[in-house]
Structure 1
Amino acid sequence: MNSEKIEIFDTTLRDGEQVPGCKLNKEQKLIIAERLDHLGIDVIEAGFPISSPGDFESVSEISKLVKNAKVCGLTRANKKDIEAAAEALQYAKRPRIHTGIGTSDSHIKYKFNSTREDILERAVQAVKYAKSFVEDVEFYAEDAGRTDNAYLAKVCEEVIKVGATVLNIPDTTGYCLPEEYGMKIKYLKENVKGIENAVISCHCHNDLGLATANSIAGITNGARQIECTINGLGERAGNTALEEVVMILKQHKNLNLHTNVNSRMLNEMSTLVSDLMGMPVQPNKAIVGANAFSHSSGIHQDGVIKNRATYEIIDPEEVGVNESSIVLTARSGRSALAYRFKNIGFDITKNELDFLYQEFLKIADIKKEIDNNDLHLIMKSFNLKIG
């Protein structure tokens, strides 16, 4: 069976930048946008042009810079927003306007003080107006995760009629369970007339830690675009992490789905975004965390030394990490100690290892982690005793 492509829509520069303290200047945004383009991203959401003069200028400059990816600008469902986005995107080789409105009863009642009928009309008018500026128009049904499926299908059907090319189905609050979100996508695939003329997109938030799982459930039920951010940055608990969905599809070949992302650039990209945004990556973060390919338990270390695949399902080089790390702690075993001694130039016998291991444990019970300097000191002490 031929593998189908999943479009990767990166919103690090829009949703990711909405994190408190993560504000980027124009030059920093251009650096990230250029790297995203080299990474193989299909769509770069460059910003929200109407929100500020600085954001407008950044979207405009990114539009001039990006050579391969589509460049997208976010708007609300009103003419001024759409006009600002169209102007900011005028230099883009492949521009996309991303417009939409809340569709859940909660948003309709409390956010808009409106009715389903009025929201439907506003959605249609927004897409129709955006279509007068660009061919590629993405519609977002905000809070789709909590929107009644029948009404959501009706909105999707009507915006497709007036030219929407992509339907963004956001789990805005991160509320959905994977099965629930997947069934919502399946419902739309089966009940929206003209759905074959649009791409369904997943935009999932991580409030319950389910953003990646929900995105995968979405694409296994027919969505063909995932909206995500580097390191999972985004509002509140964040968005779907780009590096996670890319590697899930790469590892699970039975899904017959792939992306165009160059996975060997993921670690470098993660570091760049972390540094520029001043947001450290948690050490146990999947794929790009400092501990993602580190082993400190003796049982795990012994297995990895014998065969990497015993405890690693990803070759570190696939994501741009040079090698796995054998971290020496009080939980480490003899094989790990011998391995680390060999790495710094000491081939030791079994009898020597028995003695060295006891000396190692004395220090390991005091220090959290044993480094190469400690190993040299242990070896020096050993040589003095036998000398």
Structure 2
Amino acid sequence: MSSAALRITGRIVCASALSLIAFNACAHSTSTAYLEVDAATHGTPALQWRVALRDLDALLNLDANGDAQLTWGEVADRSADINALAVSALSVTRGTQACALRFAAPQYVRLADVGYAQLDATAACGGGDKLTLDYRLFENVDPSHRVLISVRGAPPRIVAPGAQVELSSAARVSDSAADSAADVPSGFSGFVSSGIAHIAGGFDHVLFLLCLLLPAVLQRQRAGQTDRWIPRDNTQGALVAVIWIATAFTVAHSITLALATFGVIRIPARVIEPLIALTIVATALNNVWPVVTRRLAAVAFAFGLIHGFGFAEVLAPLSLPRAELAGALLGFNLGVEIGQIAIVAGAFVVLASLRRWSGYPRWILRLGSIVIAIVATLWFIERVFDLEILGF
């Protein structure tokens, strides 16, 4: 192997390692819990809390034998610890008096093909009409965590750890909570915020978009018997290409997000998640060994249909009437688009400014795509064999 080849190989390995280290700094990925409350004005309020097994494992290390295969037996053996965590994560008060929460043993449920522990509880409360919940799971650990709270007679809300929520038909996030309104959103704005958080924390969706954007500021030119990448003549041409790609991805994932949310088409997460990883691998390798060079928007649309099913996993577990589900879908999708526009705009500014650099095709397009392909391949292995390699 020549010295030049060795240098290139070394740079690839180093870049890959640095990327993996940076990604692993975020050891716990965005998660969502679900809380249903029957906030009886008179009588005993009832709660049903569903939290992903991977979230419980992240906090309690439930995998007793360390084989990266969490079983329900391992979860059930730690029922007492899970209930203690629930008591520390949830507190309910009526008026000024704290309610005594009594949790039943965890039950196993699957939501959108993901394993959850369901904890049913009753709250023994004193007198008073105002029922308030403090939610603290992942507080100061994972600020991206959210809980979707459904109270009988009120629209669902999405809140962040540390929020204080009034549980009534006129439910709202307390103004006295330490968190800002942006951190503890409610109603339609809550679903918008959830959509923004999902795309921002969804590394797979972000890397897929980046794979499409890397070559968008270039064009192929015939040079003898081969083609080569050259920069687009002007920023306007690059911008038009990026807009087409972003629009195609938006239309595609909006279609399948709606179909999955309303139950028209449902594909298990264990099928969709590996497919999403494969779309990233295929797109990244296409940048290294170009096959599709002129219709990247078509690629964005085709693969965007798959990504839409992935977005739907956030809304799928909600048991909402169709009228409320439509509003949730609209808000969530709007949030995804806001986050996507921010990501695309930021990436475009950087890539467009670098497109005339002679090293762009080799070091940004090819090397960047190789690193992304490595990460996505590891994701595929994780998702097919239920392993934890990268941890995000």
Which gives a bigger RCO, structure 1 or 2 (Cα 8 Å, sep 6+)? 2
TM-score (norm 2): 0.23
Between Structure 1 and Structure 2, which shows a larger proportion of strand residues?
Answer: 2
**Considering only CA atoms, is the larger Rg found in Structure 1 or Structure 2?**
1
TM-score by length of 1: 0.23
